[in-house]
Structures are given as structure tokens and as C-alpha cells.
Amino acid sequence: MLIQPIDYALLVWFTIAAMSAAYVAYDQWRHNPEPSVMRAGFVLVTLYMGPFGLLLYVLADKEPCPGTHEEFVKPLWKQGVGSTIHCVAGDATGIILAAVITASLGLPMWLDLIVEYATGFGFGLFIFQSLFMKDMMGGTYWQNVRRSFLPEFISMNAMMAGMGSLMSFLMMGRDMRAMDPLELLFWGVMSLGVIVGFATAYPVNVWLVAEQLKHGLMTERKKGGPFDLLVPYEGTKEEHSSESDAHDQPGHGAEKQQTHSMVSGVTTLQLFSVTAISVVLLSTGLIAPANWINLRLSAKQVGGLIMPPGMIMPRDTSAEKMQEMAAVHPRLVTREYGMDTRGDQPLEPRIENGVKVFSSEVSVIRWHILPNVAVDAFAYNGQIPGPRIRVSQGDHVRIVVHPAEQDGRPSVHHTRPHSHWRFVLL
């Protein structure tokens, strides 16, 4: 449900992300000569990162014209983009799937982060790297697992260091709807987390590609396929000229080798140093947030709470305290009143068999107390303070209080409205 301004912004963001991913998917399979695993990777990352993923695809991978992909993707920074795309596509998919499951199970956040890391690493290593890249890397599946383990470990650590810490702070921030997979804000945090994770993983992926420990972007031109340069291309004269030039370059056309074995010259000490730094980054990213927020809480305990602006929540704040201090949920708001609204207005009774019956409706309202300043609060008959009841000594009185309805159901459940009645005896 769209209840906060950020919800509308996220709706626009995800619309743009879906359109960007659709374009990348169409262009990859129709116009870009690369392996299917990289095509799927770019589509997934663009779905997560929106226009940023599209920008990376256009700048680093999209073939400018037929026959130029090999030369276009050669720069190391582009190869680093390809390696990071492959890492993020697998790892982030595993992380997001785990986050949905752990939130539904109500696991505490510290355990949630561990499960997300393990799932992301496993998904990236065993599926995206060792399985989907098997034909290109050569060798058996388990040979690829052993070969890919350390590079994937380093890359995953760098990514989770950024993504995990950001998710911790935002999910336990003022608007904890970010912990609920049924809320747009949850997916917004995941999207931003992937963007930050990509940024922190990119430098190590550039190094891994430079040292031939990971693959970057690749070109695949299967014999007789749509991207085989030996097959006549129905295009413009200039494009035909491009293809003719490409035939004279080594490594093009049907004769291109389809396996991509690599021999790295990195020393054991270098590899150990980078691995150790990645572990330090990961530990810092996952443990440091515990100094400021309570990682023992779960989505089932505080998910959906919205805290008042400026509320201080140290690391030892319990779920019970958060629930007590939580602001009125905007979803409960039934009416909106301007600055001219005043409380303490006389409430006229109706007479039933000589009994004065005062009826009042309890609800959550949005009250504008100053220009451009509004608060959400509990109210009786839309008034704060509540209405004034005037009775005389000896009167028989009955007070009926009922909750306001929203969509045919009571809008207030198990609440204690913070308002008061004023009784005047004459």
C-alpha cells in the first residue's frame, strides 16, 4: 500500500528498473554476441539496479556495431564490470531469496545476515560460477568449484561488506517496513544494497580479472549462429565493411575457441593478503552495525513499525520498547484536518429513555498543527483534546465509544488513544 512519499518514488523506480531490464534482455538476445550466462547476469543486475544496470550495459558491453564486440570489451575496467556483474547476479539473487525466507521465519537479524551470506555465496559459487560457466571454463563441475572457490570468496566478501551493512542500518532505521517483504520499502533497500554491493565488489573484481583469477566479458560466436561473422549480415554497406575488417582479425568467426582457460601469475602471498583484507571488510561490514542497532531483533518483532522523527534507538532497545514508542502507522489514518480544527468542542447527547447518550468515534487522524507541519495522532470525533461532555448532577449518562471504520473494518485495534475527555458537572 502506498502510504509514504517514498513509496511513490519506489514505484517509479521499479517501473524504470523493469523497463530497463526488458530492454537489456531484448538487446542481449537479439544483438549482443556473448554467452547466455552473461546475458542473464546483465538482465538480473539491471532488474536490481535499474537504470544504473542499463548504463553499465551500454557503456561496457553493448556491441556498438556488428563485429566490434571483441575490441569494445577489451579495456580492463570493462572486464571488471563483467566480472562484477557475474558476481552480483549470482550472489545478490541468493541474498535476496534468503532475506525473504528469513524475514518470513522471524530469524534475528544477526542470524539473518549469516544465512544471507551463506546462501549468496553458495548460489554464486555452485550455480552461477561452477555450473553456468562449466562449458566456457572447461573441466568437470567439481574442478570448477575448486578453481572458483577463492575468487568467488573474495568477491562475495567485498560485496556483502557493503550490502550487508547498508541493509542492517536501513532495515532497523526509522521506517522498519523495510524488514517486511510485503512492503515496497523492503525491495527498495534490497535494490540500494545491490548498488552499494556492486560498488564495493568492483575494485577486487578488476584485480581478479587482471590477475586472470576470474573471467570478465566474453564474446561468443557459434558457427552458423546469428553472430557468426562468416554468415552474411543483412545490413548497411558500412556494417558490411565492419564485418569484412573483422574477418581479418584473429579470434573471430567460427574458428574462435569457446573455452576460456586462464593461467594466473599471482603469488601465494598476494592472494593471501587480498583474501585476508576481504575477510576484514566483511567482518567490519557485518559486525560494526551492532554498535548502533539491535541485531537481535527480527522482522516479526518490529517489522512494519514506523518510529517518530528523531527517536533515538540504541543497540539495547528492546522490541517491546520500540512497539511502545512507535509512531502512529500512516495506514491507520482515516481523516485529515487543517489548522482551523479545534478540540474540546461540546458534544451534544441524544436522549434514550431519559438517559443522555454520548457517542464518540476513536480514530487516527492527520492534523496540521502548523503550515507544512502535520502529525498523526489518536483522536475522538477528530478532536484533540477530545470533545467536552456537559452533564448535570443526577443525570443518567451512557458513553458509547467505537472505532472508526476503514474499508469496512475497524481502523484501530487494541490501541489506547492518547486523548482525554472533559466532564463538566453543573
pLDDT digits (tens, 9 = 90+) for 167-203: 999 998 888 999 999 999 999 999 999 999 999 999 9
Reference 79, options 236, 222, 262, 255; nearest CA is 262
Least confident stretch, 72-86, 137-151, 179-193: 137-151
Kindly report the pTM of this predicted structure.
0.78
Higher pLDDT, 359 or 153: 153
What pLDDT, on the 0 to 100 scale, is given for residue 263? Answer: 64
Q: Kindly report, residue by residue over 237-265, the tens digit of the pLDDT.
A: 444 444 444 444 433 333 344 455 566 78
What pLDDT, on the 0 to 100 scale, is given for residue 27? Answer: 96
* HEC secondary structure over the chain: CCCCHHHHHHHHHHHHHHHHHHHHHHHHHHHCCCCHHHHHHHHHHHHHHCHHHHHHHHHHCCCCCCCCHHHHCCCHHHHHHHHHHHHHHHHHHHHHHHHHHHHHHCCEHHHHHHHHHHHHHHHHHHHHHCCCCHHHHCCCHHHHHHHHHHHHHHHHHHHHHHHHHHHHHHHCCCEHHHHCCCCHHHHHHHHHHHHHHHHHHHHHHHHHHHCCCCCCCCCCCCCCCCCCCCCCCCCCHHHHHHHHHHHCCCCCHHHCCCCCCCCCCCCHHHHHHHHHHHHHHHHHHHHHHHHCCCCCCEHHHHCCCECCCCCCCCCCCCHHHHHHHCCCCHHHEEEEECCCCCCCCECCCEEECCEEEEEEEEEEEEEEEECCEEEEEEEECCECCCCEEEECCCCCEEEEEEECEECCEECCCCCCCCCCCEEEEC
Q: Kindly report, residue by residue over 366-383, the tens digit of the pLDDT.
A: 888 888 887 778 888 888
Q: Kindly report, residue by residue over 351-362, the tens digit of the pLDDT.
A: 998 899 998 888
